[in-house]
Amino acid sequence: MVADPTLKVLVVCLGNICRSPMGEAVLADVAAKRGIDIEVASAGTAGYHVGEEPDERTVATCKKHGVAISHEAQQVSTSDFTKYTHILAADETNLRNLMNIKPKSATAEVRLWGSYLDNKPIPDPYYGGIRGFENVYDQCTRLSNAFLDEVTGDSTKSAL
C-alpha cells in the first residue's frame, strides 16, 4: 500500500495557465530529484481559463528544461484549504484573494511562495515575451528548493 504523502501542496496564481502550472511541474520535479514524497497541484484565484491547457510559453519553457507538464486549469475552492497542507501564492494580490476566501476550518498553511526565500512575488509573465517565462522557471526552481528545505529541515540537497 502506498502511504498518503504528508506534503500536499497547491500552487496558486491568477489564471492557472502560466505561473502556477509551471510551479506545480517544477516543484514536483525538484521534489522527485530530492527523493521527497509530495503531492502537488495548482489552481487560479480567477476562473477565466478553467479547463484550458497551460499557456504554450509555459509548456515550451518546461519542455526546454526537461520538466514534464500536464494540467487543466481550475479555480481555487474552499475545500482546498483543508485538502492541502500548504497553499503557495505567486504574488501578494493572489495571497490577499486567498485570505479573503479562506474558511475558518482551514488547516493549510497559506503563504506567499517567496516568503520561503526572499519575499519576492513571481511577476505575471502573461503580457510579456518568452524571457519572462524563463525568469518564472528560474524563480520556481529556487522557490521549490527553499520550500522543501524549510518543510523537510534539510537544505543539503538544494543545490541539485
Q: Active-site residues: which are they?
A: 13, 19, 124
16 forms part of the interface with ligand 4NP (CB under 6 A): yes
Q: How many residues bind ligand 4NP (CB under 6 A)?
A: 10
Minimum CB–partner distance for residue 108 and ligand 4NP (Å): 20
Each residue 37-56 as x (binds ligand 4NP by CB under 6 A) or -, in order, gives: -----------x--------
The secondary structure of 19-82, three-state, reads HHHHHHHHHHHHHHHHCCCCEEEEEECCCCCCCCCCCHHHHHHHHHCCCCCCCCCCECCCCHHH
Among 7, 13, 26, 88, binds ligand 4NP (CB under 6 A): 13
Judged by CB under 6 A, the chain residues 116 through 135 that form the site for ligand 4NP are: 124, 126
CA distance 22 to 31: 14
